[in-house]
């Protein structure tokens, strides 16, 4: 019998391949299915590195989805990792595979400089597919914008009403290449004060002057004058502290005991008091000012004294606690206070005498020289006791406006005189500072200060003393 050749039949179908093999009448068959490729997409970003400058226009990134294996869906895109101050527009989008879209990344002016990795995530609409792309972003600080500063010099100024004006310099200093003009105006000028010119136009780095003048009618006081400079949207200001002083007509001064060296107690310039207005309802005590001790010396008075740029009528008061006070005579405000005590000293005790008790400091009425030094001086004699029990009497010259010691003072009172009085030695009488009270008011005449001492309750040993000191460095 003849052999039948083997038979191979391959049947293809849409679901696989049938393989038929056989030899003669015998046959075998099997069915297998080949796997199909998965639908998918890829995601790209271009460029993959980007640099931004804070505060300037943004830059674009192109995003694209590419279909794989017949993918036909759309891709939803979102971004993560944006640094603070950087925004994306739009922040989300939907891609159609094969069609690129762009987003714009922008860094705000306050965005911090640095590098960040931005992740772009694409998700298929079915939600089962997801891919990412990255963009490395570098943010640089914004270049400083052109600008300027404004300064005025001086920053404080005192004007006197009715006198010549004073100049203020105004300067615009450019920053970061600023080249524009600057317009300057003034505000806050008090009534009666004028500026010439009232407005300015400055070029960068240029200085111009404004003259401020207080009219005779200007009121005394303080004000803040503001200089405002503008250029386009830029605006800056500088301030000037302005003081206006008014020179009042000087009234009557009481610079010594009982008005004058004649001690007549007469104010010959009095024009306000009359028999009709000196009565119980319109004449009497004007104020009560507190001090740190008894007041035996007569208060002294000066009109129109300038202290710290302000004009005051001033009352000067001395105490047995060795203090000197300056009060505003019109409202009682304490302007300054100083002590003439030395280190580790106290006022003198009363030496068991009831005439000046319980302590002895500045007893006599001082004397004032308005022409002394730069601001005038008040001369006082203070009695003190040191920690060793020794007594001192010293002549002080104090600045009328601050109370500061002048002329290298104070001067220790020391004196000898030929004489044979009680407890003299070799016909020399020596001044004993603890034995005497400087009670009589000081007298100033022709640059000489005259002083006089009395005893404590006529307690021996004592003699009478009169001394004269030059007001220049208090030389006897």
Cβ(446)–Cβ(433) under 8 Å? no
Q: In which domain, by residue range, is 91 found?
A: 40-140
Q: Are residues 338 and 446 in the same domain?
A: yes
Residue where a domain terminates, one of 225, 245, 265? 245
Q: What is the CATH number of the domain that holds 72?
A: 2.60.40.10
Q: Rounded to an integer, what is the distance from CA 434 to the centroid of its chain?
A: 51
Whether residue 295 lies inside any domain: the answer is no
Q: What domain count does the chain have?
A: 4
Q: What is the dihedral of CA 155, 160, 164, 168, to 10 degrees?
A: 10
Q: Are residues 371 and 462 in the same domain?
A: yes
State whether 80 and 13 are in the same domain: no
Are residues 319 and 387 both part of a single domain?
yes
Does residue 328 form part of some domain?
A: yes
Task: Give the sheet arrangement for strand 182-187, strand by strand.
Answer: 156-160, 234-245, 221-231, 182-187, 199-202
Provide the CATH number for the domain around residue 224: 2.60.40.3450
At which of 202, 230, 245 does a domain end?
245
Within a domain: 408: yes
**In a shared domain, residues 15 and 90:** no
Cβ atoms 208, 200 nearer than 8 A: yes
Residue 181 lies in a domain: yes
Q: Do 339 and 457 lie in a common domain?
A: yes
Tell me if 264 is assigned to some domain: no
The answer to whether residue 63 is domain-embedded is yes
In this structure, the answer to whether residues 237 and 315 fall within a common structural domain is: no
Looking at the fold, whether 437 and 305 belong to one and the same domain comes out as yes
Give the phi and the psi of residue 360 in degrees, each rounded to 5.
-120, 120
Instruction: Specify if 380 maps to a domain.
Output: yes
| 391 and 464 assigned to the same domain | yes
- Out of 140, 155, 189, a domain closes at 140
Q: Classify residue 476: in a domain, yes or no.
A: no
SS (HEC) of the chain: CCCCCEEEEEEEECCEEEEEEEECCEEEEEEECCCCCCCEEEEEEECCEEEEECCCCCEEEEEEEEEECCCCCCEEEEEECCCCCEEEECCEEEEECCECEEEEEEECCCCCCEEEEEEEEEEECCCCCEEEEEEEEEEECCCCCCEEEEEEECCEEEEECCCCCEEEEEEEEEECCCCCCEEEEEECCCCCEEEECCEEEECCCCEEEEEEEECCCCCCEEEEEEEEEEECCEEEEEEEEEEEECCCCCCCCECCCCCCCCCCCCCCCCCCCCCCCCCCCCCCCCCCCCCCCCCCCCCEEEEEEEECCEEEEEEEEECCCCEEEEEECCCCCEEEEEECCCCCCEEEECCCCCCCCCEECCCCCCEEECCCCCCCEEEEEEEEECCCCCEEEEEEEEECCCCCECCCCCEECCCEEECCCCCCECCEEECCHHHEECCCCCEEECCEEEEEEEECCCCCCCCCEEEEEECCCCCC
Do 56 and 24 sit in the same domain of this protein?
no
Residues in the chain: 476
Smallest CA-to-CA distance from 236 within 244, 226, 228, 247 is with 228
**97 & 170 share domain:** no
Letter string b/e over residues 285-298, b meaning 16 or more CB atoms within 10 A of that residue's CB = eeeeeebebbbbbb
Q: For the chain, 476 residues long, give each residue's pLDDT as a single digit of tens.
A: 444 444 433 343 333 443 434 444 444 444 445 566 888 888 999 999 999 988 888 899 999 989 888 888 898 999 999 999 899 999 899 989 989 999 999 988 888 889 999 999 989 877 788 889 999 999 988 778 899 999 999 999 998 887 788 999 999 999 988 999 999 999 999 999 999 999 999 999 989 999 999 987 888 899 999 999 999 999 999 999 999 987 655 678 999 999 999 999 998 887 778 888 888 887 888 888 999 999 999 999 999 899 888 889 999 999 999 999 999 998 899 999 999 999 999 999 999 999 999 999 999 999 999 999 889 999 999 999 999 999 999 999 999 999 999 988 899 999 999 988 887 899 999 999 999 999 999 999 999 999 999 999 998 888 889 999 998 755 54
Indicate which CATH number applies to the domain containing 400.
Answer: 2.40.10.480
413 and 332 part of one domain: yes
């Amino acid at each position: 019998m003849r052999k039948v050749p083997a038979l191979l039949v391959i049947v293809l179908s849409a679901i696989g391949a049938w393989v038929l093999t056989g030899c003669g009448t015998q046959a075998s068959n099997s069915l297998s299915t080949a796997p199909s490729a998965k639908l998918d997409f890829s995601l790209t970003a271009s460029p993959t590195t980007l640099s931004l400058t804070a505060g300037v226009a943004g830059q674009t990134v192109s995003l694209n989805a590419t279909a794989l294996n017949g993918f036909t869906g759309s891709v939803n895109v979102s971004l993560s990792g944006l640094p603070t101050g950087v925004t994306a527009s739009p922040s989300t989008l939907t891609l159609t595979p094969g069609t690129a879209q762009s987003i714009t990344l922008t860094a705000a002016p306050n965005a911090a400089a640095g590098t960040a990795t931005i992740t772009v995530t694409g998700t298929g609409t079915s939600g089962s597919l997801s891919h990412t792309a990255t963009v490395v972003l570098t943010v640089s600080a914004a270049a400083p914008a052109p600008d300027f500063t404004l300064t005025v010099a001086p920053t404080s100024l005192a004007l006197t009403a009715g006198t010549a004006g004073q100049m203020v310099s105004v300067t615009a200093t450019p920053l970061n290449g600023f080249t524009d003009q600057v317009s300057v105006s003034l505000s806050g000028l008090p009534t009666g004060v004028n500026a010439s010119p009232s407005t300015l136009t400055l070029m960068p780095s240029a200085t111009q002057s404004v003259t401020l003048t207080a009219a005779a009618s200007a009121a005394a006081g303080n004000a803040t004058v503001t200089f405002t400079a503008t250029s386009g949207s830029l605006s800056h200001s500088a301030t000037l502290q302005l003081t206006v002083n008014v020179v009042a007509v000087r009234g009557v001064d009481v610079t010594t005991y009982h008005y004058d060296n004649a001690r007549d107690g007469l104010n010959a310039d009095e024009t306000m008091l009359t028999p009709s207005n000196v009565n119980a309802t319109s004449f009497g005590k004007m104020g009560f000012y507190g001090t740190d001790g008894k007041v035996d010396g007569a208060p002294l008075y000066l009109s129109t004294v300038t202290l710290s740029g302000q004009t005051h009528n001033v009352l000067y008061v001395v105490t047995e606690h060795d203090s000197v006070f300056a009060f505003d005579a019109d409202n009682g405000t304490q302007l300054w206070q100083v002590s003439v005590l030395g280190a580790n000293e106290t006022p003198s005790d009363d030496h068991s005498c009831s005439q000046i008790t319980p302590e002895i400091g500045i007893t006599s009425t001082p004397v004032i020289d308005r022409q002394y030094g730069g601001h005038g001086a008040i001369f006082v004699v203070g009695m003190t006791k040191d920690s060793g029990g020794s007594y001192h009497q010293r002549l002080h010259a104090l600045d009328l406006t601050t109370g500061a010691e002048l002329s290298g003072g104070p001067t220790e009172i020391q004196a000898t005189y030929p004489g044979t009085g009680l407890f003299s030695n070799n016909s020399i009488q020596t001044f004993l500072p603890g034995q005497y009270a400087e009670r009589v008011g000081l007298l100033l005449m022709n640059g000489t200060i005259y002083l006089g001492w009395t005893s404590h309750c006529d307690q021996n040993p004592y003699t009478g003393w009169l001394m004269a000191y030059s007001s220049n460095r208090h030389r006897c």
